[in-house]
Structure 1
Amino acid sequence: MSKDVKALKHEGSSLQSAIAGATAGLVSRFCIAPLDVLKIRLQLQIHSLADPLKHQGRIRPSYKGTVGTLKQILREEGVRALWKGNVPAEGLYLSYSSIQFLSYKTLSDFIKPENLPFPCPESGTTFMTGATAGVIATTSTYPLDLLRTRFAAQGQERVYSGLMAGIRQIHQSEGPKGFFRGLTAANVQIVPYMGLFFMLYETFKPLLNSIWLPLDWAGSADGTAGTLATVIGKTVVYPLDTVRKRLQVQGPNRSRFSHKNIPEYTGILETIKTILRREGFRGMYRGLPVALLKAAPASAATIWTYERTMSLLLKVEKSGDHEV
């Protein structure tokens, strides 16, 4: 493993990893909040763009592309709608990034080729470490993810009057299980995604650090490596992200969200079969362009901020040691 790769895994304490991860999550969320709303609206849309009234009658026009969706939301709901679900989303990104990087750093000390009972290349241990960290972070923060999706899916009609009201309403009408709708799909998605992300990131970063890049002073190798890893990983697992979003809005208020005709799904396989039957293979990739548009700056901001924050924390710690 190169010196640069070791740095991400082993520099800093667990507390410093948690602080740097939390900071990275907040900055990342701030950068991509409106794009997240656009992506969720497109993922929940079951209309075919070629025939928007094909399956469910004249309920509402379909969103037509990223720009068309943006214009329609602004026209019907106003600019504040682009930040629907931002409060639980900020909590999600804050806690998810913190837990993710903390778990990754902690697990990397134990999941090593020499500690495994079977032969495994270092890229394989990186995959396992990233995937396990992703499952831990996803499961721990999933209720916030579900709340983010439901608030972003609200159209002109307010399904929940506020965050606490939404929590109470979900608990009363759906029980504790209501906060974990789609969790299985989320974890099935996150295992290959996070494994691929960290494996690709740690492959690209030393390669990019070895060549000259514009804005090298700004840490562009870190951001570029994170962007490439995210785009590849996100494209591979995107159908499962669509399944997760469809399952997250199930329940007694399904017909009150922005799309009034979301079908009833009961599991991962049924959701996949229904989407393929009604919408075709393209239906699994609704919103992918805006997802990639969102994922690239989000990943770059996350990795860049994480490593810059960690560097700052280490400098502060070092200066404190010198004063003592």
Structure 2
Amino acid sequence: MASDGSVKALKDEGTPTQVAAAGAIAGLVSRFVIAPLDVIKIRLQLQTHSLSDPLSVASAQGGPIYKGTFGTLKHILRDEGITAFWKGNIPAEFLYLSYGSVQFLTYRRTSAFLSSLPPPLGPPPEPFLSFAAGALAGSVATSATYPLDLLRTRFAAQGRDRYYAGLRHAARSISAHEGARGWFAGVGAAVVQIVPYMGLFFAAYEGLKPALAGAGAPLQALGSGDAVAGTVASVFAKTAVFPLDTVRKRLQVQGPSRGAYVHRNIPIYQGVYRTVRSILQREGPRGLYRGLSVSLLKAAPASAVTMWTYERAVGAMVLMERKIADIVD
């Protein structure tokens, strides 16, 4: 078995196939770890009433009133059981599987292309290179996998009374009643969100990674400098773009199923700008940040596990390929 140092020495290598496979593995592992937190976050983001406004609470129309991360966890566990924390997990697993592959492969190829540009076009300075490659990777991955993201949100938004009986029923219903546009409701907010998020994430990650590489014992207890760099970069980027994530979730549950979710008072929204304006008018600035705490709580383990698993998966596959080549030779 290769030492951790050997794997880390190989982390920047790998064929396109190995990069895609490592990204897929990292996505699957990450999704399994953070699935319950994701459901809690979605439920909080879709809660439109303010807890400080009695009239607003009264307008919840029979929907649950969630109070904070732990309160939401207890509420879901009591009313729906532990399996509720994995609602939407099947489309989410496919989402993370495909998203991770497309994201890392696009990032690697874009980085290589920009690095190979001849003067005076390039190669660009490192901060810009990481930002551009990360933004493009996020945009491509988000657009390619968006229908799966929409399904994940709609299933997570369902309470005990289910509008969608399963994936096949959901696919037929969306296609029949909403058409192709229904599959991409809120995609504008997603792309606008992911460009700065992935750009900031990869720029921060690449900037922190060398500085944390030799930090010693404290980081070894957490796994590696890669994991810590991924955590810090994700928290920073997530906070900056969180309002757009809330807008995306609100737009994803529009359509004929809007009144059938656990929150039955979700307003009608149209477009990113109008949704932001509506949330500010109805709920104030706090409405755009509802669920931020659990989102940050989710972002830390998700990104740490993703980057840690990705780096080691690539290294392990490269080492295996070399061993096989040595045996054949």
TM-score by length of 1: 0.94
Q: CA deviation at 1:176?
A: 1.3
Structure 1 counterpart of 2:3: none
Alignment of 1:256 with 2:260, yes or no, is yes
Structure 1 counterpart of 2:167: 163
Query: What is the CA deviation profile of residues 184-233 of structure 1, one whole-angstrom value per residue up to 9, with x for unaligned ones?
Result: 10000000000011110011111001221436277421110000000000
Structure 1 counterpart of 2:85: 82
Structure 2 counterpart of 1:68: 71
CA contact (8 A) 2:27 2:100 kept: yes
CA contact (8 A) 2:175 2:182 kept: yes
- Alignment partners' CA distance in 2, 1:219 and 1:71: 31
* One-letter identity of the residue aligned with 2:132: M
Q: Which stretches of structure 1, 4 residues or more, deviate above 3 A after TM superposition?
A: 4-8, 113-120
Structure 1 counterpart of 2:4: none
CA contact (8 A) 1:213 1:220 kept: no
Structure 2 counterpart of 1:40: 42
Q: Where does 1:1-324 land on structure 2 (aligned, <5 Å)?
A: 10-51=12-53, 53-54=55-56, 57-60=59-62, 61-112=64-115, 114-115=117-118, 118=121, 120-214=124-218, 216=220, 219-324=223-328
Q: Aligned Cα RMSD in Å?
A: 1.9
Cα separation, partners in 2 of 1:52 and 1:131, compared to 1, 3 Å = farther
Query: What is the CA deviation profile of residues 123-151 of structure 1, one whole-angstrom value per residue up to 9, with x for unaligned ones?
Result: 11110011001000000000000000000
- Alignment partners' CA distance in 2, 1:192 and 1:58: 34
Query: What is the CA deviation profile of residues 14-62 of structure 1, one whole-angstrom value per residue up to 9, with x for unaligned ones?
Result: 0000010000000000000000000000000011121254276251342
* One-letter identity of the residue aligned with 1:100: Q
CA contact (8 A) 1:231 1:296 kept: yes
CA contact (8 A) 1:113 1:121 kept: no
- Alignment partners' CA distance in 1, 2:88 and 2:151: 7
Query: What is the CA deviation profile of residues 224-278 of structure 1, one whole-angstrom value per residue up to 9, with x for unaligned ones?
Result: 0000000000000000000000000000110111100000001000000000011
SS at match of 2:152: helix
Number of aligned residue pairs: give it: 320
Unaligned runs of 5+ in 2: 1-6
CA contact (8 A) 1:85 1:148 kept: yes
SS at match of 1:48: coil
Cα separation, partners in 2 of 1:46 and 1:281, compared to 1, 3 Å = same
CA contact (8 A) 1:189 1:240 kept: yes
Cα separation, partners in 2 of 1:52 and 1:239, compared to 1, 3 Å = farther
Unaligned runs of 5+ in 1: none
- Alignment partners' CA distance in 1, 2:253 and 2:311: 35
Q: CA deviation at 1:121?
A: 2.2
SS at match of 1:157: coil
- Alignment partners' CA distance in 1, 2:284 and 2:221: 46
- Alignment partners' CA distance in 2, 1:147 and 1:87: 9
CA contact (8 A) 1:52 1:62 kept: no
CA contact (8 A) 1:63 1:69 kept: yes
CA contact (8 A) 1:22 1:94 kept: yes
- Alignment partners' CA distance in 2, 1:116 and 1:294: 42
Cα separation, partners in 2 of 1:155 and 1:52, compared to 1, 3 Å = farther
- Alignment partners' CA distance in 2, 1:147 and 1:228: 29
* One-letter identity of the residue aligned with 1:277: Q
- Alignment partners' CA distance in 1, 2:119 and 2:266: 46
- Alignment partners' CA distance in 2, 1:125 and 1:70: 40
Identity value in percent:
58
Cα separation, partners in 2 of 1:168 and 1:115, compared to 1, 3 Å = farther
SS at match of 1:110: helix
- Alignment partners' CA distance in 2, 1:6 and 1:128: 25
- Alignment partners' CA distance in 2, 1:174 and 1:243: 19
SS at match of 2:243: helix
* One-letter identity of the residue aligned with 2:42: I
